[in-house]
A and B are shown apart, each in its own frame.
Chain A
Amino acid sequence: MIVDERDELIERAARSLAGLPPVNPVAVMHIMSAVRARRAQRPSLVAQFAGWMRVPSLSMASASMLAAATLVIGFVSGGAFNGAASSVARVTGARGAMPLVQVADVPAESRAVAVPMVFDAASAHTVSIVGDFNGWDPTTTPMQRFGADGPWTATVLAKPGRHLYALMVDGVLTVDPRAPKANDKDYGGDASVLMVTKP
């Protein structure tokens, strides 16, 4: 039997390694941005079902099972699931033409990557990201302030490659001070450069 001895020397050694680092709000923010982006990319149950329906060997079995399950639930609940049954009918009716795409079906080079963005602007009231990945639309990617006076954060989905973007700070276009700049003819001035690598 091996005895777990914790003598004075080991105690001191353990103590010297036991210092706890503080919580880093920026790291927490990065984790949450990554988690939110994953949630956004995760297919919904309806999309997953649509994915199964595209597999010929599964489609008949899935449809039969779902129809049976819907019938049982509808019978048990006395019609409370009528809405669910009709939404399933819409999904199965749209089979083949449905624009829902499972992430795993998309090749890596054309798969959008979630990129967390951070911007410091303590006095700003509204900040959004505009770029070629969102059609330069200031309403598509608004940034959220992290805490009362923390940095502004958002996650953009962009395909691998070189992208140009800018920040709309209280209605004024601004380049991102943390990113390299590039002059863009279409944009009409300096824009910031975002390089996205393959996932």
Chain B
Amino acid sequence: MTEIDPAIPLRARSGDEKAFIEIVEFYYPRCLRFARNMLGSEQDAEEAVQDAFTRVYDSFPRFREDARFDPWLFRILANRCRTSMARIRRHRAMIEYGDLPIMAAAAVPEEDFGADWAEEVRVVLESLPAEQREAFLLRHVEDLSYEDIAAVTGAGLSALRMRVKRACDALRIRLDKVER
């Protein structure tokens, strides 16, 4: 079961705390998986997920009765992840200017494939532009339809298909090399 009983978000919206706990417990694993894959850091991901749920609570009055909960929740979470990525980028830029040798030592060379196949997938994922990574994860890991991804990201269907295709192409090129 990947989607919650639609009555539960409506109960939470009207102030039922037990229903809100049910939502958090139901979606926490999926939200953490998405945030972890987006941000590449456990700590940042946990922070983003906790903040996203607090925003869900704040925004409940704007949740429409006839709307589906999954895309609405993922829209809030994806926005929170984008904010987090911008903060991480700013932080990295500061470190690069202030402490270059450490960052240089930590950088992974382009052709240095790790032994772990899953780790390779993560390396490729992190190298993708954020929009492509987001679209790929929502489509192929979170199993959302393109219509739902459009509701999450606000992008058009053909743009989303292109983002997913480009992400898949990048993964194929890199992973084909690992396979050989």
On A, residues with C-beta under 8 Å from B are 2, 4-7, 9-10, 12-14, 16-24, 27-28, 30-32, 34-36, 38-39
Contacts and interface: CB of A to CB of B under 8 A. Distances in A.
B50 A27 contact: yes
A27 B46 contact: yes
B29 A22 contact: yes
Given A2-B161, A20-B30, A28-B24, A14 B53 contact: no
Contacts of A13: 121, 140, 171, 175
A77 to B, nearest CB: 22
Q: Name the interface size band of chain B.
A: 35 or more
A106 B179 CA distance: 60
A17 B37 contact: yes
Mostly helix, strand, loop or mixed at chain B's interface? Answer: helix
B152 interface: no
A5 B166 CA distance: 11
Most buried by B among A5, A10, A39: A10
Interface string B24-56: 110011101100110000000010011001100
Instruction: Kindly name the residue among B50, B117, B161 whose own CB sees the greatest number of chain A CB atoms within 10 A.
Output: B50
Q: Which 7 residue pairs are nearest across A and B when measured between Cβ atoms? A: A16-B118, A14-B140, A2-B161, A20-B29, A31-B53, A35-B57, A13-B121
A23 B29 CA distance: 6
Contacts of B140: 6, 10, 13-14
B150 interface: no
Contacts of A20: 29-30, 33
